[in-house]
């Protein structure tokens, strides 16, 4: 029993971090300031590490696209400097199928506005989204198109917007003038002077909505100063799948790269208009949200706090010595020596 009591007494008196006697310690305002600054820096770095942990990172991986799909969704929002009554919207794919897209989208008269657009050669601004969890919560919900500003049937420009589905094969989405490429005696003929395919693309995307995905044609504008003009875009579509942390959310969508080819109309067999030629790439991209394991996150927090404390312990004596040399002006002597801590002491004399 005596040995057990001795062991228990030794455990109670054991201290892995021995304290300095108060006789040999000095309190000062400078020491308190250093402690406060050190605490603020530690809290800031801990908050940053926690933000990085919960936000996660995206890890891309390419593979052969093995998905089986017969169609894909197209989201279109474009404004053309021509009346709606003079425009055709059609889709024709490599299989020979034709889709009268004008019946599936809305066409409303509006004003031609270039205030918030840019050219394709200028890099557009990415949406400031860092929290992937909130992005996944907003994903897959059908993106709502804004109402047309200053809508009027007789407006000089036409806004074409809406979502529709087409075959997941190579094809051509084109917007032409009536009786140019598609002859119809019942439709009015648009004269050369009435052709103006200047346009603003507010959105062109393929697949489900994903807030963080930036489409290269969003906000792009093109001004055309010729009557017979053919503006052609070549799009390479890559099937893309976004997977959240733990696989709780999966968003199957598409992203694309684009090049443009504006040409003056010199070949009568090619009608003027705006053409989006798209092709489906045989590879797929999977972007997975990753997070470091929780135990690694704790180790990083300990390293951050410990590193700041240790570095402060190294830097403070150096600053203290520099302060001594500066306040003494190079003089020697114990009485002139005054450290940073001594400066904060209050004398009772």
Question: pLDDT for 289-340, tens place per residue?
Answer: 887 777 877 888 888 888 887 877 777 777 767 766 777 665 554 444 555 5
User: Is position 118 within any domain?
Assistant: yes
**Predicted local distance difference test score (pLDDT) of residue 328:** 67
Whether residues 64 and 130 share a domain: the answer is yes
Whether residues 273 and 323 share a domain: the answer is no
Whether residues 150 and 284 share a domain: the answer is yes
Whether 225 shows a pLDDT value over 50: the answer reads: yes
Query: Based on the structure, what is the number of domains in the chain?
Result: 2
Whether residues 278 and 296 share a domain: the answer is no
User: Is position 15 within any domain?
Assistant: no
**Predicted local distance difference test score (pLDDT) of residue 277:** 94
Instruction: Give DSSP secondary structure letters for 80-98.
Output: ESS-GGGEEEEEEETTS-E
**Predicted local distance difference test score (pLDDT) of residue 121:** 46
Q: Considering the chain, what percentage of its residues have pLDDT values greater than 90?
A: 10
Q: How far apart are CA 283 and CA 296, in angstroms?
A: 34
User: Is position 3 within any domain?
Assistant: no
Confidence of residue 63 (pLDDT cuts 50, 70, 90): confident
Q: What is the pLDDT of residues 164-184, one digit of tens each?
A: 988 888 899 999 888 776 666
CA angle 141, 142, 143 (to 5 degrees): 110
**Predicted local distance difference test score (pLDDT) of residue 265:** 65
Whether residues 223 and 160 share a domain: the answer is yes
Whether residues 31 and 75 share a domain: the answer is no
Whether residues 300 and 251 share a domain: the answer is no
User: Is position 344 within any domain?
Assistant: no
Confidence of residue 139 (pLDDT cuts 50, 70, 90): low
Mean pLDDT over residues 81-107, rounded? 85
Q: What is the pLDDT of residues 26-50, one digit of tens each?
A: 665 566 677 777 788 888 888 888 8
Q: How far apart are CA 75 and CA 303, in angstroms?
A: 48
Q: Give the domain range for residue 35.
A: 27-56+291-327
Q: How far apart are CA 297 and CA 178, in angstroms?
A: 63
User: Is position 8 within any domain?
Assistant: no
Whether 242 shows a pLDDT value over 90: the answer reads: no
Whether residues 188 and 106 share a domain: the answer is yes
Note whether 176 and 273 are within 8 A (CB). Answer: yes
Listed in order, strand segments (DSSP E) in the chain are 57-64, 71-80, 87-93, 98-99, 106-110, 157-167, 171-177, 199-206, 220-222, 229-243, 250-264, 273-280, 283-290
**Predicted local distance difference test score (pLDDT) of residue 219:** 85
Whether 16 shows a pLDDT value over 60: the answer reads: no
Whether residues 226 and 189 share a domain: the answer is yes
Whether residues 141 and 284 share a domain: the answer is yes
**Predicted local distance difference test score (pLDDT) of residue 348:** 46
User: Is position 203 within any domain?
Assistant: yes
User: Is position 160 within any domain?
Assistant: yes
**Predicted local distance difference test score (pLDDT) of residue 235:** 94
Q: How far apart are CA 47 and CA 319, in angstroms?
A: 28
Determine the straight-line distance between the first and last CA of the chain, rounded to whole angstroms: 56
User: Is position 336 within any domain?
Assistant: no
Confidence of residue 119 (pLDDT cuts 50, 70, 90): low
**Predicted local distance difference test score (pLDDT) of residue 314:** 77
Q: Considering the chain, what percentage of its residues have pLDDT values greater than 70?
A: 67
Whether 4 shows a pLDDT value over 60: the answer reads: yes
Strands 273-280 and 250-264, sheet pairing? unpaired
Q: How far apart are CA 313 and CA 316, in angstroms?
A: 6
Q: What is the pLDDT of residues 183-212, one digit of tens each?
A: 665 566 777 777 888 899 988 999 888 877
- Identify which has the larger pLDDT, 80 or 131: 80
| Of the candidate ranges 33-37, 160-164, 233-237, the one whose mean pLDDT is the lowest | 33-37
Query: What angle, 0 to 180 degrees and rounded to 10, lies between the N-to-C axes of helices 294-328 and 29-55?
Result: 150
pTM: 0.65
Whether residues 134 and 215 share a domain: the answer is yes
Q: How far apart are CA 220 and CA 217, in angstroms?
A: 5
- Identify which has the larger pLDDT, 58 or 68: 58
Whether 125 shows a pLDDT value over 50: the answer reads: no
Whether residues 98 and 51 share a domain: the answer is no
Residues near 181 by beta carbon (within 8 Å), at least 6 away in sequence: 88, 174, 271, 273
């Amino acid at each position: 029993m005596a040995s057990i009591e001795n062991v228990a007494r030794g455990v109670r008196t054991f201290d892995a971090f021995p304290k300095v006697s108060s006789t040999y310690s000095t309190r000062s305002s400078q020491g308190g300031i250093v402690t406060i600054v050190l605490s603020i820096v530690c809290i800031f770095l801990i908050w940053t590490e926690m933000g990085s942990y919960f936000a996660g990172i995206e890890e891309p991986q390419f593979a052969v696209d093995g998905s089986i799909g017969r169609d894909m969704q197209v989201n279109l929002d474009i404004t053309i400097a021509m009346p709606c009554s003079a425009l055709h919207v059609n889709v024709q794919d490599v299989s020979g199928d034709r889709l009268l897209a004008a019946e599936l989208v809305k066409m409303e008269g509006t004003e031609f506005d270039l205030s918030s657009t840019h050219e394709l050669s200028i890099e557009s601004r990415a949406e400031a989204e860092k929290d992937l969890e909130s992005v996944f919560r907003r994903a897959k919900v059908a993106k709502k198109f804004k109402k047309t500003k200053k809508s009027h049937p007789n407006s000089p420009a036409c806004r074409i917007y809406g979502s529709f589905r087409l075959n997941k094969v190579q094809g051509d989405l084109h917007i032409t003038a009536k009786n140019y490429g598609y002859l119809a005696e019942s439709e009015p003929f648009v004269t050369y002077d009435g052709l103006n395919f200047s346009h603003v693309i507010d959105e062109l995307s393929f697949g489900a909505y994903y807030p963080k995905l930036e489409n290269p044609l969003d906000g792009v504008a093109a001004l055309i100063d010729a009557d017979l003009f053919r503006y052609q875009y070549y799009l390479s579509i890559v099937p893309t799948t976004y997977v959240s942390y733990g696989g709780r959310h999966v968003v199957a969508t598409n992203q694309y790269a684009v090049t443009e080819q504006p040409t003056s109309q010199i070949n009568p067999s090619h009608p003027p208009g705006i053409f989006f030629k798209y092709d489906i790439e045989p590879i797929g991209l999977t972007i997975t949200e990753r997070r470091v394991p929780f135990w690694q996150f704790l180790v990083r927090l300990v390293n951050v706090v410990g590193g700041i404390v240790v570095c402060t312990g190294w830097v403070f004596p150096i600053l203290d010595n520099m302060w001594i040399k500066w306040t003494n002006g190079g003089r020697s002597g114990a009485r002139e020596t005054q450290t940073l801590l001594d400066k904060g002491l209050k004398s009772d004399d």
